[in-house]
Amino acid sequence: MGINVDMEEVVIDPYKQKQTYKNWDKKINSISADNEKIIVKYLDDMRNGINLNPRATKGKRGYHRLNNQKHRLKRISELLEQHYKIYNIAPKKKEELKEIEFSLRYLFEKMEEGGIVKKDGKRYTSIRDYIKGIKAFWHWYMVYMKREHEILIPDVTEYLTIKEDRKPQFVYFGHKGGMNAEEGFKKLLNAAKPEYKPLMAVLFDSGIRVTEFLNIKSKDIADIKGTPYLLLTIREETSKTFGREIKLMLSYELLRNYLTENTFKSDDFIFPVNASVTNQYIKRLGERVLGKKGITF
pLDDT range class, residue 5, cuts 50, 70, 90: very low
The answer to whether position 158 is within a domain reads: no
The answer to whether position 162 is within a domain reads: no
The answer to whether position 40 is within a domain reads: yes
Among candidate residues 149, 170, 198, the one where a domain is terminated = 149
Among candidate residues 127, 149, 171, the one where a domain is terminated = 149
Please check whether residues 27 and 116 belong to one and the same domain: yes
Residue 55 has pLDDT above 50, yes or no: yes
Residue 8 has pLDDT above 80, yes or no: no
Count: domains in the chain: 2
The answer to whether position 71 is within a domain reads: yes
The answer to whether position 173 is within a domain reads: no
Cβ count within 10 A of residue 129: 13
Residue 103 has pLDDT above 80, yes or no: yes
pLDDT range class, residue 53, cuts 50, 70, 90: confident
Residue 82 has pLDDT above 80, yes or no: yes
Residue 3 has pLDDT above 70, yes or no: no
Please check whether residues 13 and 145 belong to one and the same domain: yes
Buried b (16+ CB within 10 A) or exposed e, 13-27: bbbbbbebbeeeeee
Surface-to-core class of residue 32, CB atoms within 10 Å of its CB (0-12 exposed, 13-18 middle, 19+ buried): middle
Strands (E), the chain: 2-6, 9-13, 221-223, 230-234, 244-248
pLDDT for 240 equals 67
> What is the mean pLDDT of the segment spanning 27-34?
93
Please check whether residues 216 and 132 belong to one and the same domain: no
pLDDT for 44 equals 94
Name the helix (H) or strand (E) containing 140.
helix 127-149
Please check whether residues 133 and 10 belong to one and the same domain: yes
Please check whether residues 86 and 202 belong to one and the same domain: no
Please check whether residues 20 and 118 belong to one and the same domain: yes
Please check whether residues 144 and 224 belong to one and the same domain: no
The answer to whether position 237 is within a domain reads: yes
Share above pLDDT 90 across residues of the chain, in percent, rounded to a whole number: 60
Which CATH number characterizes residue 214's domain?
3.90.15
Residue 7 has pLDDT above 70, yes or no: no
Share above pLDDT 70 across residues of the chain, in percent, rounded to a whole number: 93
Residue pair 200/184 in contact by the 8 Å Cβ criterion = no
Most confident of 3-7, 59-63, 222-226: 222-226
Which residues share a beta bridge with 246? 232
The answer to whether position 238 is within a domain reads: yes
Range of the domain at 187: 181-290
Please check whether residues 211 and 103 belong to one and the same domain: no
What distance in Å separates the CA atoms of residue 73 and residue 76, rounded to the nearest whole number?
5
Reported as a single tens digit per residue, the pLDDT across 184-221 is: 999 999 999 999 999 999 999 998 888 889 999 999 99
Distances (CA, A) of 82 to 60, 85, 122, 154: 33, 6, 18, 25
pLDDT for 166 equals 52
What is the rounded average pLDDT for all residues in the chain?
Answer: 88
> What is the mean pLDDT of the segment spanning 35-60?
88
Please check whether residues 140 and 38 belong to one and the same domain: yes
pLDDT for 95 equals 94
pLDDT for 38 equals 97
Chain centre distance of CA 292: 24
Among the ranges given (132-141, 157-166, 178-187), the one the predictor scored with the smallest mean pLDDT? 157-166
Residue pair 203/213 in contact by the 8 Å Cβ criterion = yes
DSSP 8-state symbol, 248? E
The answer to whether position 167 is within a domain reads: no
Please check whether residues 121 and 188 belong to one and the same domain: no
Please check whether residues 64 and 193 belong to one and the same domain: no
Among candidate residues 95, 126, 149, the one where a domain is terminated = 149
What distance in Å separates the CA atoms of residue 127 and residue 31, rounded to the nearest whole number?
20
Distances (CA, A) of 204 to 113, 189, 288: 37, 10, 19
Among the ranges given (105-109, 118-122, 172-176), the one the predictor scored with the smallest mean pLDDT? 172-176
pTM for the whole structure? 0.61
The residues, any chain, with a CB within 8 Å of residue 36's CB and separated by 6 or more, are: 27, 28
pLDDT for 135 equals 95
pLDDT for 271 equals 92
Residue 91 has pLDDT above 80, yes or no: yes
Distance linking the first and last C-alpha atoms of the chain = 15
Please check whether residues 10 and 121 belong to one and the same domain: yes
What distance in Å separates the CA atoms of residue 229 and residue 223, rounded to the nearest whole number?
6
